[in-house]
């Protein structure tokens, strides 16, 4: 039997390493289920390795884009992205022509921030359609922000040989149904692949630190869902870090790797009170991770995890660490609801740092319910299996039997 070649379209090499975490977990899970498969990640932003740069000075660009109207921003982004995709397309065509199956998987890929993802997904859909390659959507998130043009671009997937559609949470499933129109097959729930992080990366040695993720205030403003978005800037992160040291214990400041987050982390760690706490050993400023392995090594060993970033929270949960999610995007709230941790999602604006620190202490005392955790991990595996089984008729391959 020839080797089955599976393409996985996502943001595998994104500097936001939560996306790379998803990619690594998908590659691992697919390899477990189809041991003789060749699983090939394809980054829809055109990156071919960690550290590759497709947009320079992204943090500055986000600040500039905020100055313009939505209509003008979309025009700028659409033109620039299509020029970039024209250069990348020959490489994608070559990959697709040698593949048996394709999965568009993981991440908030069905979000329309200035036509970014609609443009990329639309181009991928055209290539898959032209090649007639069987495709599935798996474990993706959906935002309720589709423009009319974005909806047209996303709907190009309906022209491909689409075998299954899997959304990672109930909110995404409903948002897909409300915005996509008539689409076959019917979308189902397939949990976020990042929940398989422990299986993909293995055990880590615990450390006596609370992991506090630092996210750029500019990013939180630009991409936030206003209904759940937090506020406060770096001063809020500073106050929370110091409050955690006083109430809970030593802190490890970290970021997921994105340029704008790394800049915010560096600036925060240079503030006088934080510098003093670092000198005293009460606070640690973790190096900016360069790949998913380094993100896991930074976050997973800590006693608890606090972050606006979804996959820092998912990573902590995968390793059974108590997690507290900060509001800025509904995807974070949706994840906490999906694992019964609604009370540990902080969605109110300007939440006092002392309240967050107290919530972290409660999360540590309560821990992670082992039955809920086990069910979430099993659901994630079975969702991956269901996607493969939907594609199985397209090519001869065997999905490994359930244990």
Spans of all domains in the chain: 4-198+378-394, 203-368
> Three-state SS for 214?
coil
pLDDT of residue 56: 60
State the pairing for strand pair 323-326/345-346. parallel
Are 310 and 277 in contact by the 8 Å Cβ rule? The answer is no
pLDDT of residue 400: 75
Q: Is the backbone of residue 181 left (phi > 0), alpha (psi -120 to 50) or beta?
A: left
CATH code of the domain occupying 203-368: 3.40.50.2000
Are 104 and 136 in contact by the 8 Å Cβ rule? The answer is yes
pLDDT of residue 229: 39
pLDDT exceeds cutoff 70 at 394: no
Interval 228-276: pLDDT, tens? 334 458 999 999 999 999 999 999 999 999 988 999 999 999 999 999 9
pLDDT exceeds cutoff 60 at 384: yes
For 150-180, letters b (16+ CB in 10 Å) and e give beebbbbbeebbbbbbbbbbebbbebbeebb
Q: What is the pTM of this model?
A: 0.91
Q: What is the mean pLDDT of residues 288-308?
A: 98
CA distance linking residue 169 with residue 192, whole number of Å: 8
Average pLDDT, the chain: 90
pLDDT exceeds cutoff 60 at 388: yes
pLDDT exceeds cutoff 70 at 221: no
pLDDT exceeds cutoff 80 at 100: yes
CA distance linking residue 62 with residue 133, whole number of Å: 35
Interval 45-82: pLDDT, tens? 999 999 887 666 555 555 556 665 666 677 777 888 88
At what angle are helices 310-318 and 292-299 packed, to 10 degrees?
70
Considering the four listed CATH numbers 4.10.490.10, 3.90.1150.10, 3.30.300.90, 3.40.50.10350, the one that applies to the domain covering 4-198+378-394 is 3.40.50.10350
Look at 15-24, 212-221, 355-364, 388-397 and tell me which has the smallest mean pLDDT: 388-397
Are domains 4-198+378-394 and 203-368 of this chain identical in fold?
yes
């Amino acid at each position: 039997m020839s080797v089955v070649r599976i393409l996985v379209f996502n943001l595998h090499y994104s500097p936001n390493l939560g996306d790379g975490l998803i990619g690594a977990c998908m590659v691992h899970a697919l390899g477990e289920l189809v041991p003789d498969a060749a699983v090939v990640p394809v980054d829809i932003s055109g990156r071919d390795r960690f550290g590759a740069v497709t947009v320079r000075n992204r943090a500055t660009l986000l600040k500039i884009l905020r100055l313009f109207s939505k209509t003008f921003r979309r025009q700028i982004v659409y033109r620039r992205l299509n020029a970039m995709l024209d250069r990348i397309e020959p490489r994608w065509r070559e990959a697709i022509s040698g593949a048996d199956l394709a999965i568009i998987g993981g991440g908030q890929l069905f979000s329309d921030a200035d036509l970014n993802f609609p443009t990329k997904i639309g181009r991928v859909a055209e290539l898959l359609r032209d090649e007639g390659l069987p495709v599935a959507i798996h474990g993706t998130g959906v935002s309720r922000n589709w423009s009319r043009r974005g909806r047209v671009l996303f709907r190009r997937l309906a022209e491909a040989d689409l075998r299954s559609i899997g959304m990672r949470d109930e909110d995404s499933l409903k948002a897909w149904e409300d915005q996509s129109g008539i689409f076959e097959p019917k979308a189902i729930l397939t949990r976020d692949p990042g929940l398989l992080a422990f299986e993909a990366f293995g055990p880590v040695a615990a450390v006596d630190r609370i992991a506090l993720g630092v996210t750029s205030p500019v990013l939180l403003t630009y991409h936030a869902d206003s209904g759940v978005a937090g506020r406060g800037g770096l001063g809020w992160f500073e106050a929370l870090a110091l409050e955690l040291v006083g109430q809970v214990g030593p802190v490890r400041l970290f970021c997921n790797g994105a340029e704008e987050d790394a800049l915010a982390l560096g600036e925060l760690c240079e503030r006088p009170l934080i510098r003093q706490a670092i000198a005293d050993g009460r606070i640690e400023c973790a190096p900016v991770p360069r790949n998913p392995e380094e993100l896991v090594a930074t976050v997973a060993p800590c006693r608890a995890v606090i972050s606006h970033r979804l996959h820092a929270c998912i990573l902590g949960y995968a390793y059974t660490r108590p997690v507290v999610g900060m509001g800025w995007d509904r995807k974070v709230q949706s994840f906490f609801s999906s694992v019964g941790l609604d009370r540990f999602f902080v969605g109110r604006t300007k939440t006092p740092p002392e309240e967050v620190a107290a919530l972290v202490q409660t999360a540590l005392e309560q821990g992670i319910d082992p039955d809920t955790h086990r069910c979430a991990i099993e659901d994630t595996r079975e969702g991956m299996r269901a996607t493969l089984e939907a594609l199985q008729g397209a090519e001869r391959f065997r999905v490994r039997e359930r244990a």
